[in-house]
């Protein structure tokens, strides 16, 4: 089912990393948070409980595979998992690798950007460069995991 005014029905919502007939995994292309990944249910549903128990299980399994690949390859200090749908009420999960020196830590990435001194900004830029250098390896590991877990 597609809703004509819904951005996640009309567009991929980011760079496609992996897909399945029921869901897709996208790189959110967040300039401040490389590695920020979303799992988007393909049909337009709003809440987890709109899915059958088996579909709920599959969606969470994929979310946890993303978390595992981030921990294995990107080695963040923390992983943030979130599902809101307040702005775009189409079921999707955010999986965000976090570092204690990232721009918002310990606040959520949606908080107002705190002021950072030059040294902190340099550290943040170095961190982003390091994450970007591992992004292909992260995506490759994630694709391999998901292909293995959801073999046809």
Binding residues for Zn ion (CB under 5 A) = 3, 6, 8-9, 44, 90
Nearest-approach distance from CB 40 to Zn ion, in angstroms: 9
- Measured from the CB atom, the residue of 3 and 134 that comes closer to Zn ion is 3
SS3 string, 23-51, reads EEEEECCCCCCCCCEEEEECCCCCCHHHC
Give the distance from CA 96 to its chain's centroid.
6
- Measured from the CB atom, the residue of 5 and 115 that comes closer to Zn ion is 5
Residue 94 CA to residue 129 CA, distance in Å, equals 21
Give the three-state DSSP class for 148. helix
Nearest-approach distance from CB 57 to Zn ion, in angstroms: 21
- Measured from the CB atom, the residue of 86 and 112 that comes closer to Zn ion is 86
Nearest-approach distance from CB 96 to Zn ion, in angstroms: 21
Tell me the DSSP string of 99-137.
-TTSTTTTS-TTSPPPP--HHHHHHHHHHHHHHHHHHHH
Nearest-approach distance from CB 150 to Zn ion, in angstroms: 22
- Measured from the CB atom, the residue of 88 and 135 that comes closer to Zn ion is 88
Nearest-approach distance from CB 15 to Zn ion, in angstroms: 19
- Measured from the CB atom, the residue of 22 and 44 that comes closer to Zn ion is 44
Q: Which of 118, 59, 123 minimizes the C-alpha distance to 93?
A: 59
């Amino acid at each position: 089912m597609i809703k004509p005014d819904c951005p996640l029905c009309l567009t991929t919502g980011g760079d496609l990393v992996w897909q399945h007939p029921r869901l897709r995994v996208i790189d959110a292309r967040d300039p401040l948070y490389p590695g920020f990944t979303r799992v988007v249910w393909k049909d337009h549903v709003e809440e987890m409980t709109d899915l059958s128990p088996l579909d709920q299980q599959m969606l969470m399994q994929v979310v946890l595979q993303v978390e595992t690949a981030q921990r294995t390859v990107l080695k963040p200090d923390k992983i943030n998992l979130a599902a809101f749908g307040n702005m775009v009420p189409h079921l999707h999960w955010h999986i965000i690798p976090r570092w204690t020196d990232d721009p918002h830590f310990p606040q959520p990435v949606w908080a107002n950007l705190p002021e950072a001194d030059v040294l902190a900004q340099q550290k943040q830029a170095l961190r982003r460069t390091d994450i970007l250098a591992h992004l292909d390896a992260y995506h490759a590991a994630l694709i391999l995991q998901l292909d293995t877990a959801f073999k046809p």
